[in-house]
Protein backbone atom coordinates (compact mmCIF):
# COMPACT_ATOMS: atom_id res chain seq x y z
CA UNK A 1 0.00 0.00 0.00
CA UNK A 2 1.44 3.42 -0.93
CA UNK A 3 2.62 5.62 1.96
CA UNK A 4 0.42 8.55 0.87
CA UNK A 5 -2.61 6.28 0.64
CA UNK A 6 -2.02 4.77 4.08
CA UNK A 7 -1.82 8.31 5.43
CA UNK A 8 -5.16 9.24 3.89
CA UNK A 9 -6.69 6.17 5.50
CA UNK A 10 -5.34 7.14 8.92
CA UNK A 11 -6.63 10.71 8.97
CA UNK A 12 -10.05 9.56 7.84
CA UNK A 13 -11.11 8.52 11.31
CA UNK A 14 -9.53 11.08 13.62
CA UNK A 15 -13.03 12.26 14.49
CA UNK A 16 -13.81 8.82 15.90
CA UNK A 17 -11.55 9.67 18.84
CA UNK A 18 -14.36 11.80 20.25
CA UNK A 19 -16.70 8.82 20.29
CA UNK A 20 -14.00 6.66 21.76
CA UNK A 21 -13.38 9.06 24.64
CA UNK A 22 -17.07 8.95 25.58
CA UNK A 23 -17.25 5.17 25.33
CA UNK A 24 -14.16 4.47 27.41
CA UNK A 25 -15.10 7.00 30.06
CA UNK A 26 -18.53 5.42 30.37
CA UNK A 27 -17.04 1.94 30.62
CA UNK A 28 -14.43 3.06 33.20
CA UNK A 29 -11.80 0.66 31.88
CA UNK A 30 -8.86 0.09 34.21
CA UNK A 31 -6.47 -1.51 31.68
CA UNK A 32 -5.40 0.06 28.40
CA UNK A 33 -6.04 -2.61 25.71
CA UNK A 34 -2.70 -2.13 23.94
CA UNK A 35 -2.71 -5.57 22.29
CA UNK A 36 -6.26 -5.11 20.98
CA UNK A 37 -5.22 -1.83 19.39
CA UNK A 38 -2.02 -3.28 17.91
CA UNK A 39 -3.87 -6.30 16.52
CA UNK A 40 -6.49 -4.15 14.84
CA UNK A 41 -3.84 -2.02 13.16
CA UNK A 42 -2.04 -5.16 12.06
CA UNK A 43 -5.29 -6.10 10.30
CA UNK A 44 -5.43 -2.66 8.71
CA UNK A 45 -1.89 -3.11 7.37
CA UNK A 46 -3.11 -6.21 5.55
CA UNK A 47 -5.93 -4.39 3.74
CA UNK A 48 -5.77 -5.27 0.06
CA UNK A 49 -3.78 -2.78 -1.92
CA UNK A 50 -6.62 -1.52 -4.12
CA UNK A 51 -6.08 2.15 -3.37
CA UNK A 52 -7.79 3.32 -6.55
CA UNK A 53 -10.67 0.85 -6.55
CA UNK A 54 -13.82 2.94 -6.17
CA UNK A 55 -16.56 1.72 -3.85
CA UNK A 56 -18.89 4.74 -3.65
CA UNK A 57 -19.43 7.52 -6.19
CA UNK A 58 -21.67 10.49 -5.48
CA UNK A 59 -22.13 14.06 -6.69
CA UNK A 60 -18.68 15.70 -6.38
CA UNK A 61 -17.10 12.86 -4.39
CA UNK A 62 -15.83 9.29 -4.54
CA UNK A 63 -14.83 6.86 -1.79
CA UNK A 64 -12.43 3.97 -2.36
CA UNK A 65 -13.04 0.42 -1.20
CA UNK A 66 -10.05 0.58 1.13
CA UNK A 67 -11.31 3.82 2.69
CA UNK A 68 -14.59 2.07 3.46
CA UNK A 69 -12.78 -0.96 4.92
CA UNK A 70 -10.55 1.27 7.05
CA UNK A 71 -13.60 3.09 8.40
CA UNK A 72 -15.19 -0.27 9.20
CA UNK A 73 -12.05 -1.50 11.01
CA UNK A 74 -11.96 1.63 13.14
CA UNK A 75 -15.57 1.14 14.15
CA UNK A 76 -14.75 -2.47 15.05
CA UNK A 77 -11.89 -1.25 17.24
CA UNK A 78 -14.14 1.19 19.07
CA UNK A 79 -16.69 -1.58 19.52
CA UNK A 80 -14.10 -4.04 20.87
CA UNK A 81 -12.79 -1.50 23.37
CA UNK A 82 -16.14 -0.07 24.43
CA UNK A 83 -18.55 -2.99 23.86
CA UNK A 84 -21.22 -0.41 23.03
CA UNK A 85 -24.13 -2.07 21.25
CA UNK A 86 -24.35 -3.42 17.69
CA UNK A 87 -21.96 -2.45 14.92
CA UNK A 88 -23.14 -0.38 11.97
CA UNK A 89 -24.44 -2.32 8.99
CA UNK A 90 -22.80 -1.87 5.60
CA UNK A 91 -25.63 0.42 4.47
CA UNK A 92 -25.26 2.54 7.61
CA UNK A 93 -21.52 2.92 7.02
CA UNK A 94 -22.08 3.88 3.38
CA UNK A 95 -24.63 6.43 4.53
CA UNK A 96 -22.28 7.87 7.20
CA UNK A 97 -19.34 8.26 4.80
CA UNK A 98 -21.54 9.75 2.08
CA UNK A 99 -23.25 12.19 4.44
CA UNK A 100 -19.92 13.71 5.48
CA UNK A 101 -18.90 14.30 1.87
CA UNK A 102 -22.29 15.69 0.93
CA UNK A 103 -22.49 18.13 3.83
CA UNK A 104 -18.89 19.27 3.24
CA UNK A 105 -19.59 20.12 -0.38
CA UNK A 106 -22.91 21.72 0.57
CA UNK A 107 -21.08 23.99 3.01
CA UNK A 108 -18.50 24.94 0.40
CA UNK A 109 -21.27 25.76 -2.06
CA UNK A 110 -22.78 28.04 0.59
CA UNK A 111 -19.55 30.03 0.55
CA UNK A 112 -18.09 28.77 3.81
CA UNK A 113 -14.31 29.10 3.81
CA UNK A 114 -11.59 27.95 6.18
CA UNK A 115 -8.22 29.70 6.43
CA UNK A 116 -4.85 28.00 6.70
CA UNK A 117 -4.48 29.58 10.15
CA UNK A 118 -7.72 28.02 11.34
CA UNK A 119 -6.42 24.60 10.27
CA UNK A 120 -3.08 25.32 11.98
CA UNK A 121 -4.86 26.27 15.20
CA UNK A 122 -7.12 23.19 15.17
CA UNK A 123 -4.17 20.84 14.64
CA UNK A 124 -2.14 22.60 17.33
CA UNK A 125 -5.02 22.22 19.80
CA UNK A 126 -5.42 18.51 18.95
CA UNK A 127 -1.68 17.93 19.43
CA UNK A 128 -1.74 19.83 22.71
CA UNK A 129 -4.54 17.63 24.04
CA UNK A 130 -2.79 14.46 22.88
CA UNK A 131 0.75 15.19 23.98
CA UNK A 132 0.87 18.09 26.42
CA UNK A 133 -2.17 17.89 28.70
CA UNK A 134 -1.19 15.79 31.75
CA UNK A 135 -4.15 13.42 31.47
CA UNK A 136 -3.45 9.87 32.70
CA UNK A 137 -7.06 8.67 32.51
CA UNK A 138 -7.75 5.41 30.70
CA UNK A 139 -9.49 7.19 27.81
CA UNK A 140 -6.50 9.51 27.27
CA UNK A 141 -4.03 6.63 27.35
CA UNK A 142 -6.09 4.62 24.87
CA UNK A 143 -6.37 7.56 22.48
CA UNK A 144 -2.63 8.18 22.64
CA UNK A 145 -1.97 4.50 21.86
CA UNK A 146 -4.40 4.58 18.93
CA UNK A 147 -2.74 7.68 17.47
CA UNK A 148 0.69 6.11 17.97
CA UNK A 149 -0.37 3.05 15.96
CA UNK A 150 -2.21 5.12 13.35
CA UNK A 151 0.82 7.30 12.69
CA UNK A 152 3.16 4.29 12.66
CA UNK A 153 1.42 2.62 9.72
CA UNK A 154 1.86 5.73 7.57
CA UNK A 155 5.65 5.43 7.60
CA UNK A 156 5.88 9.07 8.71
CA UNK A 157 7.09 10.53 11.97
CA UNK A 158 4.69 12.51 14.13
CA UNK A 159 5.60 15.95 12.77
CA UNK A 160 5.38 14.79 9.15
CA UNK A 161 1.97 13.29 9.84
CA UNK A 162 0.49 16.44 11.36
CA UNK A 163 1.93 18.66 8.60
CA UNK A 164 0.79 16.43 5.72
CA UNK A 165 -1.73 17.58 3.13
CA UNK A 166 -3.97 14.60 3.92
CA UNK A 167 -4.20 15.48 7.62
CA UNK A 168 -4.84 19.13 6.85
CA UNK A 169 -7.56 18.24 4.36
CA UNK A 170 -9.38 16.16 6.95
CA UNK A 171 -9.32 19.09 9.36
CA UNK A 172 -10.52 21.36 6.54
CA UNK A 173 -13.58 19.15 6.16
CA UNK A 174 -14.30 18.99 9.89
CA UNK A 175 -13.91 22.75 10.42
CA UNK A 176 -16.02 23.54 7.36
CA UNK A 177 -18.84 21.31 8.59
CA UNK A 178 -18.52 22.83 12.07
CA UNK A 179 -18.87 26.32 10.63
CA UNK A 180 -21.97 25.31 8.69
CA UNK A 181 -23.52 23.98 11.91
CA UNK A 182 -22.69 27.21 13.77
CA UNK A 183 -24.12 29.38 10.99
CA UNK A 184 -27.34 27.38 10.90
CA UNK A 185 -27.69 27.75 14.65
CA UNK A 186 -27.03 31.50 14.44
CA UNK A 187 -29.57 31.88 11.63
CA UNK A 188 -32.09 29.90 13.72
CA UNK A 189 -32.42 27.31 10.96
CA UNK A 190 -32.00 24.70 13.68
CA UNK A 191 -31.86 24.49 17.46
CA UNK A 192 -29.64 21.49 18.21
CA UNK A 193 -27.25 18.93 16.80
CA UNK A 194 -30.22 16.59 16.42
CA UNK A 195 -31.66 19.12 13.95
CA UNK A 196 -28.31 19.21 12.12
CA UNK A 197 -28.25 15.43 11.92
CA UNK A 198 -31.78 15.49 10.50
CA UNK A 199 -30.59 18.05 7.93
CA UNK A 200 -27.71 15.75 6.91
CA UNK A 201 -30.14 12.86 6.56
CA UNK A 202 -32.38 14.94 4.30
CA UNK A 203 -29.36 15.93 2.24
CA UNK A 204 -28.45 12.28 1.84
CA UNK A 205 -32.03 11.28 0.95
CA UNK A 206 -32.16 14.03 -1.69
CA UNK A 207 -28.96 12.74 -3.30
CA UNK A 208 -29.18 8.99 -2.73
CA UNK A 209 -30.39 8.40 -6.29
CA UNK A 210 -27.11 9.97 -7.52
CA UNK A 211 -24.95 7.69 -5.36
CA UNK A 212 -23.61 4.51 -6.91
CA UNK A 213 -22.14 1.55 -5.02
CA UNK A 214 -19.63 -0.72 -6.76
CA UNK A 215 -19.24 -4.15 -5.12
Query: Which domains does the chain possess?
Result: 3-213 (1.10.4030)
Taking only the tens place, the pLDDT of each residue in 109-165 is 999 999 999 999 999 998 888 888 766 666 777 788 888 888 887 778 889 989 998
DSSP 130: I
* pTM: predicted TM-score of the whole model, two decimal places: 0.80
Q: Which residues of 151-179 are buried (b: 16+ CB within 10 A; e: fewer)?
A: bbbbebeeeebbebebbbebbbbbbbbeb
Phi, then psi, of 68 in degrees rounded to 5: -60, -45
| Separation CA 86–CA 58 (nearest Å) | 27
Mean pLDDT across the stretch 45-61?
78
Mean pLDDT across the stretch 67-96?
83
Question: What contacts 60, CB < 8 A, 6 or more positions away?
Answer: 101, 105
Residue with the larger pLDDT of the pair 67 and 18? 67
Amino acid sequence: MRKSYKLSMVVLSIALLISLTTIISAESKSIVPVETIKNKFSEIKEITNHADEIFIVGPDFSITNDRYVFFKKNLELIHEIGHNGPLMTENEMIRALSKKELVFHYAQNQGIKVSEQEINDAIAEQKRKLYEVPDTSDSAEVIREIMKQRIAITGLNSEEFWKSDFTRNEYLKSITIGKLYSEMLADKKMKSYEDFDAFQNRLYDENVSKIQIFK
